[in-house]
Amino acid sequence: MTFSTEGRWSRRSTLAMLVSGATSSFSMAQAGRVGPYPFRLGVASGEPLSDGFVIWTRLSVDPADPRGGLPRAPYTVKWEIATDERFTAVTRSGEAIAHPELGHSVHVEIEGLPSGRPWWYRFILDGHSSATGRARTTVPAGMPVRQLRLASVGCQHFEQGYYTAYRHLAQEDDLDFVFHSGDYIYEMTPNEQVRNARGGFTPVVRLHSGDALFSLDDYRLRYAQYRSDPDLQAAHAAAPWFGSFDDHEVANNWAADLDQVGTPSDVFLLRRASAFQAFYEHLPLRRTSLPRNGSIAMFRRAMFGDLLQAHFLDTRQFRSDQPCGDKVKPLCADIENPDATILGTAEEAWLAEGLQPGRARWNLLAQQVMMMDLDRHTDDIAPVPLLNMDAWTAYRAPRQRLLDHIHAAGLGNVVVLTGDEHQAYAGEIRLNGGTSDSPIIAHEFVGTSISTAGDGSDLRPGAAEILSRNPHCRMINDQRGYLLCTITPESWTSEFKVLDYVSRPGSPIHTRVRFVVEADQPGLTTSEA
Ligand SMILES: [Fe+2]
């Protein structure tokens, strides 16, 4: 048997397979007469290591069908890895089975490749060749790296705007990776209007298929609709991704086994299990993230030589319920609950174990909800802060434990990348929160949405008042786009890339502002673009 149940190939088994031409181990799978073009959902790579990465596709001849227009039978799909875009030098090839149990998705964990260089990959089935994707192996931990470039993206409501940001992202040179902070899909029913920042309504640009999502087929159909977008496909094909989920992959503001409308936990967990399976099926994740017993393993680390240690967090699956009735509310005593958690016990211990000096020049916390304090009052007279009870600011005890740990460990170069807000923010996180005189512990860059909330403007009404009430928050912007980060041993530069519009295709892109963190010099410096 040359194909293990983990879907992993060893070099020896691959070579043996190629030499012998053996196919008997795949007799359970159809040799493939798939008919029409089966790669309509594109390709992707993800979870890069120094010797490999995951390559992904999901077979579908009809994205409007929850089963992809395919019979319920396994298919054997060929894959190829090459050192060049034209596949003149194929370094590795093999076969993988697309199981109907997993929606005919394919996750192949490539290993044994030379480190620190680009690779190209594609899939082949029944005479059809997929689009070509570009991946990249990382530099091994501790080895010198002079520069990294990453993009941070999130919140891609299909109805509320075109994915022009992804079209531009796909043209960025040599991205080492893309981090998706969540809201890859939205679970709601179709809605012909979107509420805009001025309290009015704007027509959407396209409609969700189906209804609100509850079953596995519901979620699969929604993912397939999103994954049919050519701009999203281009962004996946351009660079390896680290995907994570926030709330809308399941249901708005869910927390562990609770939804927002009081569904009994054992009932909600059935919906969550369907959502997790569909999430796994559509992202280039490792086998370790295959859902088991209704849970999914999503917090993990990645090393990029001696330059960056990235910690990808899960702030949803293990958190305690939002305090003070959730949503945006005036500060109340429950935010100080010492028993509250946002990461859960095991993830919090895992993160503390990883946040140690000497591993890399920079530490990245790549996660979902805002970590800095933010009083959201839009006037200058209200005495009690108005807080987002879904964010770290409402989970004071676990946030303080994290900041205390970073401070005690003497880690100076910590950057937090966040999504969720549908606006961009840049700010400094101090040990005792807010604008206290305590030391700066970390720097946070909140990426805006790809499309959610539709066309924006530079500032929403009230944003100037929020900035004046929160001096540690250095920038707010309400346009759609993404965050582009360039990391060197000397500095971390974050560029806020913004679009003029998403209500029609083709917007140009600009850099709204550029922030720099100098290594070992806490604090943000800015240069207007
Ligand atoms: Fe969102």
Q: What is the pLDDT of residue 523?
A: 96
CA of 249 to the centre of ligand 1 (A): 10
- The whole-number pLDDT of residue 529 equals 60
Among 66, 101, 136, residue at a domain's last position: 136
Q: Using the mean position of ligand 1's atoms as its centre, give its distance from the Cα of residue 445 in Å.
A: 16
Both tokens of 475, joined, read: 């920038």
If you measure from the C-alpha of residue 369 to the centroid of ligand 1, how many angstroms do you get, rounded to a whole number?
10
Say which residues have a Cβ less than 8 Å from residue 426's Cβ, sequence separation at least 6.
443, 444, 445, 446, 473, 474, 475, 494, 496, 513, 515, 524, 526
The answer to whether 480 and 179 are in contact (CB under 8 A) is: no
Q: Are 163 and 184 in contact (CB under 8 A)?
A: no
Q: How far is the CA of 452 from the centre of ligand 1 (A)?
A: 6
Same domain, 153 and 132: no
Query: For residues 166 and 44, what is the distance between their CA atoms, to the nearest angstrom?
Result: 14
- Here the tokens at position 242 are 């680290």
Cα angle: 355, vertex 359, 365; to 5 degrees: 40
Tell me which residue has tokens 């990465």.
53
- Which of 136, 161, 195 is the last residue in one of the domains? 136
Distance between Cα 313 and ligand 1 center (Å): 17
Give the Å distance between the CA of 193 and the centre of ligand 1.
16
DSSP 8-state secondary structure symbol assigned to residue 160: T
* Domain co-membership, 312 together with 346: yes
Q: Report the alpha-carbon distance of residue 513 to residue 529 in Å, rounded.
A: 5
Using the mean position of ligand 1's atoms as its centre, give its distance from the Cα of residue 449 in Å: 7
Q: Do 209 and 69 share a structural domain?
A: no
Q: How many helices (H) and strands (E) does the chain have?
A: 8, 26
| 35 Cα–ligand 1 center, Å | 37
| pLDDT score, position 434 | 85
Residue 42 CA to ligand 1 center (angstroms) comes to 23
Q: Is residue 261 part of a domain?
A: no
Q: How far is the CA of 451 from the centre of ligand 1 (A)?
A: 9
Q: Are residues 166 and 96 in the same domain?
A: no
Residue 142 domain flag: no
Domain end marker among 136, 160, 181: 136
Judgement on whether residues 437 and 474 belong to the same structural domain of the protein: yes
Q: Are 425 and 476 in contact (CB under 8 A)?
A: yes
Is 378 inside a domain boundary?
Answer: yes
* pLDDT of 383: 81
Q: What is the 3-state secondary structure (H, E, C) of 387-404?
A: EECCCHHHCHHHHHHHHH
Distance 365 CA to ligand 1 centre (A): 19
Residue 331 belongs to a domain? yes
Asked if residue 209 and residue 343 are part of one domain, the reply reads: yes
Q: Which residue has tokens 């200058």? A: 380
Q: Look up the domain containing 126 and give its range.
A: 11-136
Nearest to 4 by CA among 137, 96, 70, 139: 96
Distance, in Å, from the CA atom of 286 to the CA atom of 56, rounded to the nearest integer, reads 10
For residue 41, what pLDDT is reported?
A: 98
In angstroms, the CA 281 to CA 279 distance is: 5
Tell me the two tokens of residue 403.
Answer: 């900041």
Q: What is the DSSP letter of 509?
A: E
Cβ-in-10-Å burial (0-12, 13-18, 19+) of 172 comes to middle
**Quick check: 291 and 276 in contact, CB under 8 A?**
yes
Q: Read off φ and ψ for residue 89, nearest 5 degrees.
A: -130, 95
The reply to whether 141 falls in a domain is no
Please tell me whether residues 228 and 342 are part of one structural domain.
Answer: yes
Residues 278 and 371 in one domain: yes
How many angstroms separate the alpha carbon of residue 146 from the centre of ligand 1?
34
Report how far ligand 1's centroid is from the alpha carbon of 420 (Å).
Answer: 5
* Domain presence at residue 65: yes
Half-sphere exposure in the Cβ direction for 379 (13 Å, CA): 4
Ligand 1 mean position to 191 CA, how many Å? 15
Tokens of 433: 């929160």
**117 phi, psi to nearest 5 deg:** -155, 160
226 CA distance to ligand 1 middle (Å): 14
The closest of 223, 235, 233 to 105, measured between CA atoms, is: 223
Give the alpha-carbon dihedral of 405, 408, 414, 415, to 10 degrees. Answer: 40
3: in domain: no
Residue 92 — φ and ψ, nearest 5°? -150, 145
For residue 55, the CA-to-ligand 1 centroid distance in Å is 26
Q: Residues in the chain, how many? A: 529
302 Cα: distance to centroid of ligand 1 (angstroms): 25
DSSP letter, residue 297: -
Q: From ligand 1's centre to the CA of 422, what distance in Å?
A: 6
CA of 186 to the centre of ligand 1 (A): 8
Nearest to 66 by CA among 275, 280, 216, 185: 216
Q: Identify whether residues 168 and 36 lie together within a single domain.
A: no
Indicate whether 351 and 473 sit together in one domain. yes
Q: In 254-340, where does DSSP find H-type helix? A: 265-282
Q: How many domains are there within the chain? A: 2
Q: Does 89 map to a domain?
A: yes
Which CATH number covers residue 83?
Answer: 2.60.40.380
Below-50 pLDDT ranges, the chain: 1-27
- The enclosing domain of 175 has a CATH number of 3.60.21.70
Spacing, Cα 114 to ligand 1 middle (Å)? 37
Q: How far is the CA of 409 from the centre of ligand 1 (A)?
A: 33
Q: Are residues 100 and 173 in the same domain?
A: no
Q: SS3 of 429, please?
A: strand
- Does residue 226 share a domain with residue 106? no
